[in-house]
Amino acid sequence: MPDHAQLRRATAWMSGTAVEEGDAARVSVALPDSSGHFPPEPDIADGACGPGSTALEPGRLYRRISGRDDRARPVRDEELAELGDPMAVTFFRAGRFPTTVQELLSELPATAAASRKVYLVSEAGQISPGALGERDMRFAMTTAVEGNQVDLLVSTQAGGDPERGFLQVAGWDSAAKVFNFYARFESSWVWAGNSWHSLEPDSRGKGCFDSHVNGSAVMKELRIPWLNWQSERATIRLAEDDPLRQDQLFQQVIGAERLELTVRFLVTRWTAARLAAVTANGVVDHPDRLLRHLFTNTTVNLTSTDRQSSTITADSGELTLPSGFWLNQDLLFDDLRLFTQAAPPRAPAAAYLAGLTRFGFGLEEKFSGFSQPGDTFFAFVVPEAAHEDNEVVRQMVRKGLISARFAACALMVDFPNPVFSPARSLLMRYVPTTPTKAAELGEEVTRAILDAARTRNLPADSPEARFAAHWQVPEDAWPSVFGQRVDAYLRKVTQRVQTASGFDDYVRLAESRRRQFRRMKLHEFELTMPVTNIPPGAPPLAMREDGTVTELT
């Protein structure tokens, strides 16, 4: 059998596998280039943030920012002096280069040890320990080194040889207000860039920024039941004789419900620093880098029901499908405060079970040959609008860069498709790419869209015409008017999901969105999503406001 490490990504920082590249090449998605996704790089055999062809000397810090540096080179003294995160200050400036996570943690100040939190994640964590072999378990750790707030995040494999497994760190520089990203290679370390590099065209979506897309901390499953994580809702399965049980870090593992709160805080902190920096002089140099968070999905989170699929029976009653599947609930309800009354749609458990059979749901890992019928541990996993994108929009509204009305009008253009919306992404063409006064940004984009709707003879269902119609709703009425539309939509979905044909349409829509997620580098493991008998080349689908599903052309 081929070497495991060459076939499965240990993390999004590592290179893609031949298996993944082949899968991606077979998937076709009708999305414009402005969708915010990053297709697989044509040549990633070198390793995403790896050293390239340069042999690394032991005990040194190198720099390699993927897309900007062809290969690793030693970090210069003046560069090291500018790195002010705990990893640089505690270790690299002192000439210390830990080779294992145990060594790294033991050399941190005692206050850091007191604040340390340890979490455990594995996409195969609920599969029988004897059924799969290697299960890609990883520890994620957070700690506060220089103060009371988390400023160091560590990711490493759980179990195995600590000197051979991956070891990666993100450190928050409280002076520069950025994350710095590092990876250990044998007994040397590589600095892979900072948060700002995630936004620059040459390095965006490359190296560690294929997962840290916007330069912040990442937790894909950022909502209850924290799919794949050990949490208050699930315990990762281990064999009784698994040596991991004796691991000191494993014995410190706590529930991912705590990590969710930390990650949300870290995203908020970086977003605030980012917006403060880009608006400091009253001019936004790259408005498109901000508004793509509203008009596109730069990344996604994963969500599911709170029900274990194996416990669902025909007598289980109704199943509440994830709210993020139907719309961007966080922005529309929590932030923009649309006035709504409709309850979340619920599907018959019997329809869900019938769908598992009809669509051939299963878990598969091609290279290992693992196959298991049924759904993921928690039922009905789908991508949803990312907290990272929502947080940028949320803070843009608070800072007055755009109005709540503007954000609502944009979202309502295609609100039944909270992710992968070609219609909404087309509005990016009206966003300036040159420096724009911060106070005039929202007005300038609004004016451009309204002018296009008025002068270009566009159809009434064009994104521009939809936005213009929304803009005509009086300032004091849009929360209730838009809320009524959302209510009507959810009622229609609630009716359709009760029918066999309606539920089947939503299964197809969910799989369509999963296929699009699989094209993203954020898709690291085959077992994250179920497979079905729906052909990989099936046309992409979209939801309509009347609750029906249609093909994208």
Phi/psi at 285 (5° precision): -70, -35
The yes-or-no verdict on residue 41 having pLDDT over 90 is: no
Please tell me the least confidently modeled range out of 10-24, 125-139, 152-166, 390-404.
Answer: 10-24
Cross-strand bridge partners of residue 334: none
**Contact 417/543 with Cβ under 8 angstroms?**
yes
3-state helix, strand, coil in the chain (%, to 5): 40, 15, 45
Alpha-carbon distances of 126 from 122, 146, 236, 362, rounded to whole Å:
8, 37, 6, 14
> 470: Cβ–Cβ under 8 A, 6 or more apart, which residues?
408, 409, 412, 413, 478, 482
Fill in the amino acid letter for 269.
R
Task: Work out the angle between the directed axes of helices 441-455 and 404-412 (0-180°, nearest 10).
Answer: 40
Query: What is the distance between the alpha carbons of residues 458 and 289, in angstroms, rounded to a whole number?
Result: 27
Task: Say what the pLDDT of residue 25 is.
Answer: 32
Residue 39 confidence class, pLDDT cut points 50, 70, 90: very low
Residue 135 confidence class, pLDDT cut points 50, 70, 90: confident
Three-state DSSP state, 502: helix
| pTM, two decimal places | 0.92
Counting Cα atoms < 13 Å in the Cβ hemisphere of 447 gives: 6
Query: What is the distance between the alpha carbons of residues 2 and 500, in angstroms, rounded to a whole number?
Result: 43
Q: What's the rounded mean pLDDT across residues 202-215?
A: 96
Q: What is the per-residue pLDDT across 489-522, written as a single tens digit (0 to 9) for each?
A: 999 999 999 999 999 999 999 999 999 999 999 9
Q: Rounded to an integer, what is the distance from CA 84 to the centroid of its chain?
A: 27
CA proximity to 216, closest of 183, 194, 201, 200: 194
The yes-or-no verdict on residue 31 having pLDDT over 60 is: no
% of the chain surpassing 70 pLDDT: 90
Q: Rounded to an integer, what is the distance from CA 393 to the centroid of its chain?
A: 16
The yes-or-no verdict on residue 3 having pLDDT over 50 is: no
Query: What is the distance between the alpha carbons of residues 290 and 278, in angstroms, rounded to a whole number?
Result: 10
Query: What are 174's two structure tokens?
Result: 């409280």
